[in-house]
Chains A and B, each alone.
Chain A
């Protein structure tokens, strides 16, 4: 417990009349030493007193009035009685006046307190001078404003929110969070179905899922689905709900107010497969895109910094298939910790596919190719087979992708991949071709992609493609 949390606990004990002599002494020490603790102390006491007034119906403390009567010298008794009665009336009128005042600017935007438990607070720095979030703490929150770090909360509805700083969100109701800036991941349980993230561009409505929302300073909203489905409601120029779109697993879009959502081709992910914080994004891979022009195609490539490890999810449209070392071997050291690009399985039959990986610095690109097929021309020509092997799985034995693969002793199917590499000495776009050659029928899997920066001398300038 840090000093401010300790101070708040002591203040609570003091205010409730529960502080021991030792606790009073410790609070006194903190109050003497820290001006911020003094400020908190005064605010807390102020709210305590105001609550007492409010709960009493806005009446001035009756004890004050009665005792004034008793203690005013006898020769002034009549006058003092009048004073006392009038004080009560005037104060009551004042408080009534406060209660009846029209809504002021501070009432907007509307918000609602939501009970939440802090599941984790990794490097979280709050905006303003506020006490830090403590793991395990139970809070009443209406606004979440963090400058940096990752804050994970579980709401009463069971919804787990992961806020990635810098971010600013306000609960409009326990089931509606208005995100004005920043990124969040939402894992919505059964009770939280219907949880909605509201942005300036529209609404992302959960339909039982795990999804992410990213709101830029320019008002653009990005939404991605990791499992399940969401509905996206865009808003028109009058600010009303306009049209709705559905987004499924492995799909992502970006949209502004009054715009139809467009495909978001690549998304920074963390090792858990959720949206990555901006500060932790890959510094080697700038973007990944392809030549698919179908307007209804919304699949995204996931970019995971340091993501190629034993057990890492291989694709974005099915997180069950993972990368593994070949049975009986260790995971190749050269590949371990490389930046992982997660493509989607549905591309495995795209014979005209071109994937573009934009590098921010010289790097080695690795392509993991399904060994059941000969390498396509672009791979055989520009890349070298490293001799390293990986496997993906487990695949459902009844699935078409593995219809020619025998299950292992556990009844699961795994596919083997050859690992190819190419050194790229210039920063810029690198083109990758289709997963296999035209005319090669039969089952096959989409290739995997990984990137590792080339070691460079200190101060060496980065050469870029024009």
Chain B
């Protein structure tokens, strides 16, 4: 007996929800701005849902979804070909390969982020979270802090570098645990 429509939805939900963070990270690596991610992800979700019937086995979902995300991101980049802030298709393909093969490690890195945020001095932690809060404008925070926006971007850069280093160590320790 074929699955009911509700069952079909549930299956898709489960699979998509598991892969969604990795897919978004993958897409993020191929588009220049954070704001571009939702636009591409919308297309990815639409195509995945539309073609879900063609998926041979649930175990193939992640690989299939990455393939779809890659095509959608490249299609998005083609549309922006005249934008010189977007990488060329060859480099995007190289990055897509690297991002796909690193997706598991990057997922673990995201999980380690909270621990690393906890190690930041409270003031730094509050700053970085407020800078990333939805609807926040860097210029507003810079004014509140009496800094120029560029100075604030530099501070955020240092915090992100520290977090990257911290999560790297976390990954290394987990690998050796």
Q: Taking beta carbons and an 8 Å cutoff, which residues of A are in contact with B?
A: 8-9, 12, 14-19, 21, 24-25, 28, 31-32, 35, 38-56, 60-61, 63-64, 67-68, 71-73, 76, 79-80, 82-83, 86-87, 90-91, 94, 98-99, 103-107, 111-115, 128, 130, 138-143, 174
Chain B minimum-CB-distance residue to A46: B106
Q: Report whether A64 and B38 are in contact in the complex, using a CB–CB cutoff of 8 Å.
A: yes
Q: Which of B42, B84, B120, B121 contacts A64 (CB 8 A)?
A: B42
Instruction: Give Cα A101–Cα B95 distance, bound, in whole angstroms.
Output: 32
Q: Report whether B102 and A31 are in contact in the complex, using a CB–CB cutoff of 8 Å.
A: no
Instruction: Give Cα A80–Cα B50 distance, bound, in whole angstroms.
Output: 10
Q: B133-150 CB contact bits vs A (8 Å, 1 = yes)?
A: 110001000000000000
Q: B157-177 CB contact bits vs A (8 Å, 1 = yes)?
A: 111111111111110111001
Q: Report whether A91 and B20 are in contact in the complex, using a CB–CB cutoff of 8 Å.
A: yes
Instruction: Give Cα A130–Cα B128 distance, bound, in whole angstroms.
Output: 23
Q: Report whether A47 and B99 are in contact in the complex, using a CB–CB cutoff of 8 Å.
A: no
Q: Report whether A61 and B111 are in contact in the complex, using a CB–CB cutoff of 8 Å.
A: no
Instruction: Give Cα A91–Cα B168 distance, bound, in whole angstroms.
Output: 24
Known: A47-B164, A52-B132, A94-B17. A106 touches B174 (CB 8 A): yes
Q: Which of A8, A35, A42, A54 contacts B132 (CB 8 A)?
A: A54
**Per DSSP, are chain A's interface residues mostly helix, strand or loop, or mixed?**
helix
B16 interface hit (Cβ, 8 Å) = yes
Chain A minimum-CB-distance residue to B156: A16
- 9 pairs of A and B residues whose beta carbons are closest in the complex: A140-B162, A63-B38, A55-B132, A67-B42, A21-B84, A90-B17, A106-B170, A50-B110, A12-B157
**What's the nearest-Cβ distance from chain A to residue B9, in Å?**
5
Q: Report whether B110 and A64 are in contact in the complex, using a CB–CB cutoff of 8 Å.
A: no
Known: A25-B84, A61-B37. A140 touches B158 (CB 8 A): yes
Question: 14 A-B residue contacts at CB 8 Å?
Answer: A16-B157, A35-B98, A41-B29, A44-B164, A49-B34, A50-B25, A61-B37, A64-B24, A68-B46, A94-B18, A106-B112, A130-B165, A140-B124, A141-B162
Q: Which chain A residues border B174 with CB–CB below 8 Å?
A: 104-106
Known: A112-B119, A113-B119. A43 touches B132 (CB 8 A): no
Q: Which chain B residues border A87 with CB–CB below 8 Å?
A: 13, 16-17, 20, 45
B51 interface hit (Cβ, 8 Å) = no
B70 interface hit (Cβ, 8 Å) = no
Q: Which chain B residues border A9 with CB–CB below 8 Å?
A: 157
Q: Report whether A72 and B24 are in contact in the complex, using a CB–CB cutoff of 8 Å.
A: no
Q: Which of B34, B110, B115 contacts A106 (CB 8 A)?
A: B115
Instruction: Give Cα A32–Cα B138 distance, bound, in whole angstroms.
Output: 31
Known: A48-B160, A63-B38, A142-B119. A31 touches B133 (CB 8 A): no
